[in-house]
Amino acid sequence: MKILAIDDQQLVLLPMQKRLKELGYNVKIETDAVSAISLYNSFNPDLVIVDINMPGVSGLEIVKYIRNSKKNTTPIMVLSGNTQDDVITAGFELGINDYMKKPLSLNEICARVKRLIGAPEVKNTTIKSDVMIQQRCVGVVIPCYNEEERLLSQEFIDYIDKNSGYHLCFVNDGSKDRTLEVLKELQKGREDFITVYDCDKNGGKAEAVRLGMLHMAKKEDLDYIGFLDADLSTDLADFDDLVKTIEHSDFKIVSGSRIARMGANITKESARKIISLTINFIIRKILKMDFKDTQCGAKIFHKDVIGIAFNKQFVTQWIFDVEIFKRMSNHFGLAQAKSMLCEQPLKRWIHADGSKLSMKDSVKIVGQLAQIAWVYRGKKSKANSVVVKELNVAY
């Protein structure tokens, strides 16, 4: 039994293809609608699964081609995040057989496939999947410097295996230990879901994150891109909560916050906490925003502001997060920038060993804050705006 699945986001198609193959189906996938039409003619599938919102040729156009141009009765299932009543109605009027709304589980997709075209006679197909097919696709940049001992490889693997729509980009920031080898081993066999970006020299976390974000912005199938610390001091499930917030809102940036609140597991050394509170007070004065915690290493961005936030190198190595917010403020104006930024408390945050902030480092940060205040002193660069527009068009 042959199935053709069409969606412009490969991260949606891959787990579905894998599961349907496990059940004995012959599955081919295609991310380009025009190529999908050609493949349909040569493959002659018993079932077509198609998304609606695709660039260029929409899913409904493919349905029209099969039903009107080819006069074919091949069963067609729509798998889409589009929940508009008129679109769904138009689909059924054109002759689709089923309409599945993202997000939904792979188990439900497989059950609907079996209902339409039956199931191949394959042994050991009773195992269920706990994977959800999401509406959005997310890139996550993880900067790594000498993380050979601390990198929680299995946690990353388990997460992408169970959560579709995620692509992880590990940036090796010129590590002097075996970090690059560990990352390559982690990537092996998962190249569609894990990228390893290698920097020859150590440029610091700010540059590692910046390069990773710009690299991931070139991937057309990603809707949002964020960054996360390699030690997973912010839980992956918490990061997914940030993604859900930006997905269902008009915010352009959602930033995690390590604010202690009822029901949250936030651990932090008392001395470190006092230093952080002092620095955060200075940051709020510079930003003119009531941020409780700018420095949390978990943030998610709408793809269309990546150019604004990351097109130029940062002035500082440690507090580039402050520069990101200043860039947004300078570009859009303070009032609009405030409406585009969201600070969301985390449910869990653990201060990991090996990343302690010394008193000497704290003095340096205060100096870097003064540097930021001077460099970003309310001037909006027209040249920068032109560069940003060009970057956004390219992405």
Q: Which helix (H) or strand (E) holds 227?
A: strand 224-228
Asked if residues 394 and 311 have their Cβ atoms less than 8 Å apart, the reply is: no
Structural tokens at position 306: 């990546």
**Can you give the pLDDT at residue 203?**
93
136 by DSSP, 3-state: which?
coil
- What is the separation of C-alpha 112 from the centre of its chain, rounded to a whole number of angstroms? 28
- CA dist 318 and 174 (Å) reads 17
- CA dist 186 and 200 (Å) reads 19
In sequence order, the β-bridge partners of residue 228 are 298
**Can you give the pLDDT at residue 385?**
46
For 256, phi then psi, to 5°, come to -65, 150
Sheet holding 224-228, edge to edge: 194-199, 166-173, 138-144, 224-228, 298-302, 253-257, 341-345
Centre a 10 Å sphere on the Cβ of residue 85 and count the other Cβ atoms it contains: 7
Q: Angle at the Cα of 21 (from 17 to 27), degrees rounded to 5?
A: 60
**Can you give the pLDDT at residue 386?**
43
344 by DSSP, 3-state: which?
strand
What are 220-233's pLDDT values in tens digits? 899 999 999 988 88
Q: Which stretches of the chain drop beneath a pLDDT of 70? A: 123-127, 259-278, 349-363, 378-395
**Can you give the pLDDT at residue 280?**
72
- CA dist 382 and 388 (Å) reads 10
**Can you give the pLDDT at residue 395?**
44
Alpha carbons within 13 A on the beta-carbon side of 385:
9
What are 2-23's pLDDT values in tens digits? 999 999 999 999 999 999 999 9
DSSP 250-299: S-SEEEEE----TT-EEE--HHHHHHHHHHHHHHHHHHTS--S-S--SEE
Q: Please give the model's pTM, rounded to 2 decimal places.
A: 0.84
